[in-house]
Amino acid sequence: MAKVIYFDNNATTRVADEVLEAMLPFLKDLYGNPSSMHTFGGQVEKYIRRSREQIAILIGCDSSEIIFTSGGTESDNAAIKGVLAALPEKRKIITTRVEHPAVLATCRQMQAAGYRLVELGVDRDGQIDLEELESEVDDDTAIVTIMYANNETGVIFPIDKIAEIVRAKGAVFHTDAVQAVGKLALNLDKSNIDLLSLSGHKLHAPKGIGVLYVKKGTRISPFIIGGHQEKSRRAGTENIAGIVALGEAAELAAKTIDRENTKVKKLRDKLEDSILETCRGAMLNGGKINRLPNTANISFEFIEGEAILLSLDQFGICASSGSACTSGSLEPSHVMRAMGVPFTAAHGSVRFSLSRYNTEQEVDFVIEKMPQIVSRLRELSPFVK
């Protein structure tokens, strides 16, 4: 396969070599079921325990507060539906308009089932109004679910402040931290976050493994029921290889998080600054300051994001666009619309998301190609002459 220049790490990440090595024995020799009575099966239990501890260190909590799931989507569903099931007397849910569909679609399904749903809007920087949030949380509010960092723009919400507001009003607070864990230092013991979702494949572990953190004392019903795994909090035979992999990835992330914040941010800034300078009609989406260190979301006026992606693809460069191609019409993403990005720019948004595996040479290559791609597509655009 031709060399791939991978700038789509918010979509998924490469499995780290160390992670692959750690998980392989559990796909081959150590295939026992940890619930079995025999020694062969029972011996894998200690690896689950170790992984729980590795993850607890990364996010600053007690290992008993970690429940393994199949990924971010399941964790989000389990958090929202689990709290609503545990607090049947409360009928209100609060979220934002820029959540990932794993949260937004779940909240809207609950709305269709009779709950009251408030979707908070955001400003041009992608931030919510904290006073509006405070005035919306009331005695009827079961859960407030607000993402830690946005997957399209990288915009970080002031989660500790938000959690404090929600706690003071007595509602449960969940955050989808799928894009934050491994990129930002967290300390859940010191926060008012009750529930947090994370996903392995965003931090160099494989797809299909995730965690729901549940602070001790949080009222929540199990979402997937059956066997007694995870202390009856999430049924189903454990994905041991995935669990071991996520533990290893968490340990690696804890070691490299400073590098991610410096080396990766430096590369991202170089890429972003150069594109904004050399490409006509380019503009940054989302506030510049409170942002993940690895994400740049840039709009190119009067050009379709998909056209840019296809041109980049011809050079082996992988990036992504916020818009979804539905039934032949290109809809700007719900995040761009919520931020009020003008229609002429919302269509042309491209997300570059880096990881610790990207190099300066790769950034230079993209910087060289982008102005040519943008000029050529703009010449073809029916909207500008």
Q: Which residues bind ligand PLP (CB under 6 A)?
A: 71-73, 76, 100, 102, 147, 151, 176, 178-179, 199, 201, 210
Q: Shortest distance, CB of residue 151 to ligand PLP, whole angstroms?
A: 3
Distance CA 143, CA 92 (A): 7
Of 176 and 238, which has the nearer Cβ to ligand PLP?
176
The answer to whether residues 152 and 128 touch, using CB atoms and an 8 Å cutoff, is no
Candidates 61, 107, 279, 325; catalytic one: 325
The answer to whether residues 36 and 164 touch, using CB atoms and an 8 Å cutoff, is no
Of 102 and 377, which has the nearer Cβ to ligand PLP?
102
Q: Shortest distance, CB of residue 210 to ligand PLP, whole angstroms?
A: 5
Of 82 and 210, which has the nearer Cβ to ligand PLP?
210
Q: Which residues lie closer than 8 Å to 11 by C-beta, 6 or more apart?
A: 320, 353
Going by their DSSP bridges, the two strands 116-120 and 282-284 should be labelled as unpaired
Closest CA to 85 of 156, 9, 142: 142
Q: Shortest distance, CB of residue 120 to ligand PLP, whole angstroms?
A: 16
Residue 359 backbone class (left: φ over 0; alpha: ψ -120 to 50; beta: rest): beta
The answer to whether residues 383 and 302 touch, using CB atoms and an 8 Å cutoff, is yes
Q: Shortest distance, CB of residue 353 to ligand PLP, whole angstroms?
A: 10
Going by their DSSP bridges, the two strands 116-120 and 92-96 should be labelled as parallel
Distance (Å) of CA 262 to CA 37, 183, 193, 353: 48, 11, 27, 15
Determine the distance from the C-alpha atom of residue 95 to the mean position of all C-alpha atoms in its chain, rounded to a whole number.
Answer: 16
Of 47 and 148, which has the nearer Cβ to ligand PLP?
148
> Is 325 annotated as catalytic?
yes
Of 126 and 307, which has the nearer Cβ to ligand PLP?
126
The answer to whether residues 116 and 141 touch, using CB atoms and an 8 Å cutoff, is no
211 phi and psi, to 5 degrees?
A: -140, 145
Please give the residue whose beta carbon sits closest to ligand PLP in the complex: 72
Q: Shortest distance, CB of residue 375 to ligand PLP, whole angstroms?
A: 32
Query: Which of the residues are catalytic?
Result: 325
